[in-house]
Amino acid sequence: MLRLLVISSVIGLLYSSSAFAQLYGTNTFEFQYGNLPYEENTDLTTSYDQLNLFYDQGKISAYGRFEHFLTPFNDRNYFLLTQKRLQYDDDHFKVRIGNFYKTIGRGLLLRSYDIPGSVYEDSFYRTRYAFNRDQEGVDISYKNDWIEASVIRARPLFNPLPPNFKPDSARRPDLIEAIESDFYLTEDLSIGGAFMRSRSDGRDDYRELASLMYNYNLPFNLQVYGEYAFDTDIALFQFKEEDSYALYSGLNYFYGSFGLSAEYKNYNQFRLGSGYNDPPSLIKEHTYPVLNRSTHVLSTANESGFQVEGFYNFEDGHSVTANITTAKNEIARTNYYREYFLEGYYQASDFLSFKAFVDYATDERKGEENRISAGLISEKSFNYEWSFALDVQFQTYYKTAFSQNVENYYASIAYSTIPDLTVSLIFEATDDLLLTDNPNTFDIEDETRTWLGGNVRYKINQSHTLDVFAGKRRGGPACTSGICYEILDFEGVELRFTTRF
C-alpha cells in the first residue's frame, strides 16, 4: 500500500511539474526468454525494469530508483524503491541525504560506482538487479578557491546480495564515518588528507584509517599524484608484512601527440570491511572480448607492481598504444603477473580502417601461463551511409590446473545503417575443460564448445533504443568502466528497451 502511495505521488509530481521544476529520468526494461546452459529444467522467463527519476527545483533535487524483477519463482521477485536521495547544491555547499556515490582520493579508502544501464544476475540467487555500490547516509561538502572538504556518515552497499535479500541490513554491514579535505597551496600544488573510521555490524570497536595525498602539476607537461592510506596504529612508511597499508603513485606526461602514464602500487592487508574500498588495480582495461574476460583480479591482501602505458596519435588518424603491466602477490607463495600489450590503428582512408592487437601475459595466481592473444578488426564504410565491421580474435594459454593448452576463438560481423540500425552476428568457441564439461554428468566432456548469437540495435529516436539478442551468449568475468564482475551464460531471446525522458 505504501509503495502504491509512493508511486501515485511520483506520477502526480510528474504531471504537476511545471516550468519552475524539472522531472526527468531514464527507464530500462529487459525481457528474457531462455535459460542457462546445462539447466534444461529451469527455463526462465524474466522481466526486469529500472526506472531512475530526477526532480529538480532550484538548488534542491530529489532522486529515486525503482527496480522490478519478475520470474516464475516468487521468492526471486521484487518491486522496490532501491535508491532515494535529497540533494542541496549551491556555489559552495553540497548536501546529500540518502543514496549517493562518493570516492575518497583514488579509492584506496572508499570507492563507489554505478554502471549506468548494467543489469547483473547473481549465479546463486538468480536475481537480476542494477550493479552498483552506493553509500546510504549523509554527505556534506564545502569548497572555495583554496580548500575542499567533505564529511560522510554512511553505509556502503555489499552488492553481491540482491535488493530483496532478507534481512535488508545484511546488504549494508559496515558503517563508515569519514572526513576528507584538499588544500590548494598554489595553482599547481594541492595536498590532502582523509580520516575514516569504520565498524562492521556485530562488532563494538572501530577500525581507524587515514590517507595522505598530493597532486602536483610540474613543468614540462608532467603531473604527479600520490596517495598513502594506512591503519592509524602502524608506523608510517615502514611497509612491514603485518601492517595494513596501500601506497599508490601515478605520473603522466605528454608532448605533442605522445602521451605517457606510469603508475606504481603497493597494497598490503587492505581489504576494508565487506570490500567497500577499491585501490587502482593497475591492470590494463581491455574492451576486446578475449582480453576483457582474462583480466587479472587485484588482491588487496598483498600486491605490488607497476603499469606503464604510452600512446602516439598520428595526424592522419593512425595511432599506436603500448602497455606493460607487472604485479607480484606474496600470499603463501610468490606469484607473478606480467602483461605486454601492443595495439595499432591504421586509417587507410575516410572509409576504411584496420586495427590490430597482440598481447602476451602470464598470470601465475590464476594458473594461466604463456597467454597469447591477438586480433584484427576492420571497418569499411560506404559513403557514410552504411558500413561493415569484421572482428576476429584468438587466444591461447597453458592452464596449469588441467595441464591443458586452452584455445579461445571470437569472431563477429556487423552491418550498420548509419545512424539508426546495427545488426551483428557473434561466434565464440573454446576447448577450456572448465567450460566444455557439463557439470550435471559424471563424464568429462571435452568437445569444443561454441556460442552463436545475433544482436539488433535500433535507435528509434533520440529518446528510445531497442536491443534484441537471440542465440547463445558466452558468460564469464567482464569489466566495464573499471569494475569487474561475473556475467552468466545465456541461451534464448533477450529484448531491451531503453527510454530517456
SS3 of residue 434 by DSSP: helix
How many C-beta atoms surround the C-beta of residue 246 within 10 A? Answer: 27
| Binding piece for other proteins, criterion CB under 8 A, among 123-131, 168-176, 273-281, 428-436 | 273-281
Half-sphere exposure of 283 (CA within 13 A, CB side): 28
How far apart are CB 255 and other proteins at their closest, in Å?
Answer: 9
Our finding on whether 477 is near other proteins (CB under 8 A) is: no
Residue with cell 526471486: 76
How many residues belong to the site for other proteins (CB under 8 A)?
105
- 250 counts as binding other proteins under rule CB under 8 A: yes
Q: Which is nearer to other proteins, 336 or 386 (CB)?
A: 386
- Quick check: 441 binds other proteins (CB under 8 A)? no
Among residues 31, 33, 79, 485, the one that binds other proteins under rule CB under 8 A = 79
Beta carbons of 45 and 71 less than 8 angstroms apart: yes
Contact pick of 9, 12, 22, 372 for other proteins (by CB under 8 A): 22
173 preceded by a cis bond (ω within 30 of 0): no
Which residue in the set 35, 45, 61, 424 belongs to the binding site for other proteins (CB under 8 A)? 61
Cβ(140)–Cβ(150) below 8 Å:
yes
The b/e string for 328-345 (b: 16+ C-beta within 10 A; e otherwise) is: bbeeeeebebbbebebeb
Euclidean distance between CA atoms 362 and 335, whole angstroms: 10
Alpha-helix residue ranges (DSSP H) falling in 350-412:
none
Neighbours of 219 (CB within 10 A): 6
- The 218-247 site mask, x for binding other proteins (CB under 8 A), equals ---x-x-x----------------------
> Shortest distance, CB of residue 160 to other proteins, whole angstroms?
19
For position 253 contacting other proteins by CB under 8 A, the verdict is yes
Tell me if 459 contacts other proteins by CB under 8 A: yes
Among 46, 66, 244, 300, binds other proteins (CB under 8 A): 66
Query: 49 or 407, CB closer to other proteins?
Result: 49
Residue 238 identity (one-letter amino acid): Q
What are the backbone angles phi and psi of residue 105, rounded to the nearest 5°? 55, -130
Binding other proteins (rule: CB under 8 A), the pick from 281, 325, 395, 408 is: 281
Binding of other proteins at residue 57 (CB under 8 A)?
Answer: no
- Please tell me the distance from the alpha carbon of residue 52 to that of residue 134, in angstroms, as a whole number: 15
Contact (Cβ atoms closer than 8 angstroms) between residue 482 and residue 285: yes
Note whether 464 binds other proteins by CB under 8 A: yes
CB of 439 to other proteins, least distance (A): 33
Write the secondary structure of 89-103 as one string of H (helix), E (strand) and C (coil).
ECCCEEEEEEEECCC
The correct pick among 35, 71, 200, 261 for binding other proteins (CB under 8 A) is 261
Selected range binding other proteins among 31-39, 203-211, 216-224, 430-438, rule: CB under 8 A: 216-224
- Subset of residues 351 to 410 that bind other proteins, contact rule: CB under 8 A: 351, 353, 355, 379, 381, 384-385, 387
